[in-house]
Amino acid sequence: MVSTRSLMDLDRAHTLLTNKTTDFKSSKCNEVYQQKLIESQSLNSEWKRIMVFKGSTKSIRFVDELRQEMAAISDNKSKQAPYRSIPKAEMIVLDAPGLMDDYYVNIMSWGKNNVLAVGLGPTLYLWNSVDQSIHKLFHVREEDIWPTSITWSEEARTLAVGYTCSNLQLWDAESSKLVSSLSLFLYRIRALRRLLQSIHHVSVYLQIRSLQGHSGRIASTAWNGHILTSGSRDNSIINHDIRARNHLASCIKKHSDEVCGLKWSNEGDRLASGGSEKQLYIWEASKMSSSKFLHRFTDHCAAVKALAWCPYQHNVLASGGGWNDRCIRIWNTQKGICIHSIETKAQISGLEWNRYQKEILSSHGYSTGEDQNKLCLWKYPSMTKVGEFGNHEPRIINLCQSPDGVTVVLAVADETLWFWDVFGPPYDWNFNGFGSSRSFLFEEFSDKIVIASEQQFTTC
């Protein structure tokens, strides 16, 4: 006789053959209860048949189908993206007295030398993220003159500083290679630097050049190799060739209001410029001398300050609008089209791409509702919100990313700097001397270089 396989209870048979028989000898258990328990578990073949030779198709057990469904569910779970953890607390908070509450300025830059440059009123400080040393670079004595744009060069050898007075200065951090006409001057600077370092054993930063050309405050700067691009309240964009004595390479006047956002593409072939007049321009590096733009986008309804080029799609640009716009827009700069637009319900003050995953981070300021003063993480290219965190009381003014792409720092209007580990694996930084919550970052001692922390104050 051949049994009907589909009606066989193979699972129960396997259990009876492989499991040890449970011996219920406890006098505390009622015999009737034990019997019912055995029946309900279907472990006794006296009531349940294992070999079935005939039967109705209605009683077929869909064991194989159930197994297939469970396998499919398990397979789907294995294919799902791993859970994206959102930081629940900041890494460190630093006091930054004198920080400007001005949406249109860009007063932070984190260079490849692991030094964060930040302008606090008329003073510019340098914070080393490796040894936590703090240097006071300079203090402007003139009234109503302070840094409004700060940008490290690509190799972090030169720091560009734009001012409210329309002046643009270059500060030498290491041994910058400039034009031959300045060779004697630079030789003397380097000799002086070596002398000071041998005496004080500190890093020395010296002003090496001042660039003229603008007639209004400089709110934005961007580097592209030896070209330094600056945007001003006089509505102009100037390309400075820092190798040449006559540094003015080209001057563009297409914006009708302050140029508050500048960003060169990763390849250096295109420049994005955003203005307070709500317009976004895309320029080709090879054609900037003719003032002919590649694209002009007018979709934003407020100032365009936040700009970020995608690190894995060289033609993709993200832009963020001000309070009357509140939108993140993703652009294909090759075709000149907007491929995505997201309403964030809050002013956008900064954008940074994740170099390790396809994500973009936005920082926010004023809002018409409760979605303000936060950091929001978005999945790309769907632009679905992954999460939000960092609900600050005042608005976020500036956002910038660490050289390793893991940490971001926020300049908040309550005169604080907040550090968050957002991207990639946790980075093991040793913040000895700063405590777990808040530390004083800058101390006013004198016009000399100052190294400061909570535990030690050394004037050089």
Closest CA to 144 of 128, 163, 125, 130: 163
Quote the tokens at residue 272.
Answer: 């994005």
Helix (H, G, I), strand (E, B) or coil at 18: helix
Are the CB atoms for 307 and 272 separated by under 8 Å? yes
Closest CA to 315 of 296, 300, 336: 336
10 Å Cβ neighbour count for 6? 14
**Which regions of the chain carry the CATH code 2.130.10.10?**
92-459
Burial of residue 311, with CB atoms counted within 10 A of its CB: 0-12 exposed, 13-18 middle, 19 or more buried: middle
Closest CA to 234 of 264, 213, 250: 213
10 Å Cβ neighbour count for 1? 5
Alpha-carbon distance 260 to 218, whole Å?
Answer: 8
Closest CA to 337 of 394, 287, 299, 290: 299
Show the CA angle centred on residue 346, arms to residues 341 and 349, nearest 5°.
85
Fold designation for 92-459: Methylamine Dehydrogenase; Chain H (2.130.10)
Are the CB atoms for 360 and 346 separated by under 8 Å? no
Per DSSP, 112 falls in state T
DSSP, residue by residue, 423-447: SSSPP----TTS-SSEEE------S
The reply to whether the predicted model has a pTM over 0.85 is no
- Residue 445: per-residue pLDDT: 33
10-residue mean pLDDT series, the chain (460 residues): 61 65 54 66 50 51 63 63 74 94 97 96 95 91 94 94 95 49 35 46 57 94 97 97 92 97 98 98 94 96 98 97 97 98 96 96 87 91 93 92 96 96 62 38 38 28
144 Cβ neighbours under 8 A, 6+ residues apart: 164
Alpha-carbon distance 35 to 45, whole Å?
Answer: 13
> Residue 213, by phi and psi: left (phi above 0), alpha (psi -120 to 50) or beta?
left
Alpha-carbon distance 158 to 242, whole Å?
Answer: 11
Closest CA to 44 of 67, 15, 66: 15
Give me the half-sphere count of Cα atoms (radius 13 Å) on the Cβ side of residue 49: 12
- Residue 326: per-residue pLDDT: 96
Are the CB atoms for 453 and 434 separated by under 8 Å? yes
Quote the tokens at residue 104.
Answer: 């249109």
User: What is the layout of strands, in order, in the sheet containing 237-241?
Assistant: 218-224, 227-232, 237-241, 248-252
Per DSSP, 22 falls in state P
Quote the tokens at residue 80.
Answer: 């799902």
Alpha-carbon distance 328 to 318, whole Å?
Answer: 7
Beta strands in 354-404 (DSSP E): 359-367, 375-379, 385-389, 396-401
DSSP, residue by residue, 247-303: -EEEEE---SS-EEEEEE-TTSSEEEEEETTS-EEEEEGGGGGGT--SEEE---SS-
Name the amino acid, one letter, at 152.
Answer: W
Name the amino acid, one letter, at 316.
Answer: V
Residue 175 φ then ψ, to 5°: -125, 75
- Residue 454: per-residue pLDDT: 30
Are the CB atoms for 108 and 411 separated by under 8 Å? yes
Per DSSP, 106 falls in state B
- Residue 198: per-residue pLDDT: 47
- Residue 195: per-residue pLDDT: 47
- Residue 424: per-residue pLDDT: 75
Q: Which residue has the tokens 């869909």?
A: 62
Alpha-carbon distance 163 to 431, whole Å?
Answer: 32
